[in-house]
Structure 1
């Protein structure tokens, strides 16, 4: 990165991984659900919204989520989160860019709203857990979720860096504004991992920090 940047904060689903919507559509097909049924359960059904919000801040378990979402969809809730994320794969371009940044001396952190960590840990399952990052900030462990500015403040504390020395990448535009309030440079990741990876590479210094 340029001389003033020392930290890289990365969202998980849709940034370090392939697109969340494509994963959800694949899940609907694998479970024989009507198109849009899964997204409706998560984003429109009041029970689905409530349990997902509670899961993200550690007030509901992953098994609670499995049961509620399974009931809404009328499918077997057993190990449902694992099944729901089965088609979510690491995005190789972004993962490689993160590795290059870290090799250059940049502190790299995961900053994610939680999918739950037990009984299924989707981060560890994809090799994107504590060994991959200098810091892991997951909403379930923090008791606060994006877009609350507090979770971004905790990420900066974990990296021991000011906002002006960090870059944050997220695929959800609404999650960028709180980071900007703290002086963090933001990148809105869209469907082109090559473009985002290229931009991140452009910020990495030619000489290791």
Structure 2
């Protein structure tokens, strides 16, 4: 690498994996839930919002999340996170772009607001650890996106500065704190081919 972009930082759920909404909809069908019930429990129910926020920064365990979300939905809480993520798969187009970046000498990090690590570790289950030079999880760091601190820690883990890195996330609200550190950002939507093409173009220029 001879110029600006020497690092690549990617979100996990919905970027390195298939779409979170499609996974959630499949979970609702498998559990016989009313369409939208799972998303309401996570995003709108006060107890659901609280427990997810606490899980992400290590104030609550995955087992506690299972109990609370299971209670809201009226379903068996046993291994609920594992069941809730059962339809999530690695996104091969993005992972291929990650591999191309690493082969070109780019350092690559995964930066995720945590789903918890015990009893179910989705990062291990989907084979993510070996694909990255650094794995930054909010549960471990005790701080979550979009706090600027977790971006700073990711840069430290890579040994790079903000202007040397590109960050990809599917939540627009997570991008401005990275931009404030000089990181180039890409808002991933629903088209992994388009995101991979953007990455290839940026990193090709960096390697030229």
- Does residue 86 in structure 1 map to residue 86 in structure 2? yes
Q: Distance in 2 between matches of 1:11 and 1:5?
A: 18
Alignment-derived partner of residue 200 in structure 2:
201
Summarize the Cα distance change of 1:27–1:2 in structure 2 as closer, same or farther, 3 Å threshold: farther
Alignment-derived partner of residue 67 in structure 2:
67
| Structure 2 unmatched runs, 5+ | none
SS at match of 1:105: coil
Alignment-derived partner of residue 38 in structure 2:
38
| Displacement after TM superposition at 1:167 (Å) | 0.2
- List structure 1 runs of 4+ shifted beyond 4 angstroms: 206-209
Alignment-derived partner of residue 104 in structure 2:
104
**TM alignment of 1:31-180, pairs within 5 A:** 31-129=31-129, 131-180=130-179
Q: Distance in 2 between matches of 1:2 and 1:186?
A: 20
SS at match of 1:110: strand
Whether the 8 Å contact between 1:10 and 1:111 is mirrored in structure 2 is yes
Q: Bigger CA drift: 92-101 or 196-205?
A: 196-205
Cα deviation, 1:184-207, whole Å, max 9, x if unaligned, reads 000000100001011111122489
Alignment coverage as a number of residue pairs: 208
Whether the 8 Å contact between 2:97 and 2:196 is mirrored in structure 1 is yes
- Supply the RMSD in Å over aligned alpha carbons: 1.5
Alignment-derived partner of residue 191 in structure 1:
190
| Displacement after TM superposition at 1:13 (Å) | 0.3
Q: Distance in 1 between matches of 2:14 and 2:201?
A: 21
Cα deviation, 1:91-114, whole Å, max 9, x if unaligned, reads 110011001101111000000000
Q: TM-score, normalised by structure 2?
A: 0.97
Q: Distance in 2 between matches of 1:169 and 1:207?
A: 17
Cα deviation, 1:47-97, whole Å, max 9, x if unaligned, reads 101110000000100000000000000000000000000111111100110
| Displacement after TM superposition at 1:208 (Å) | 6.7
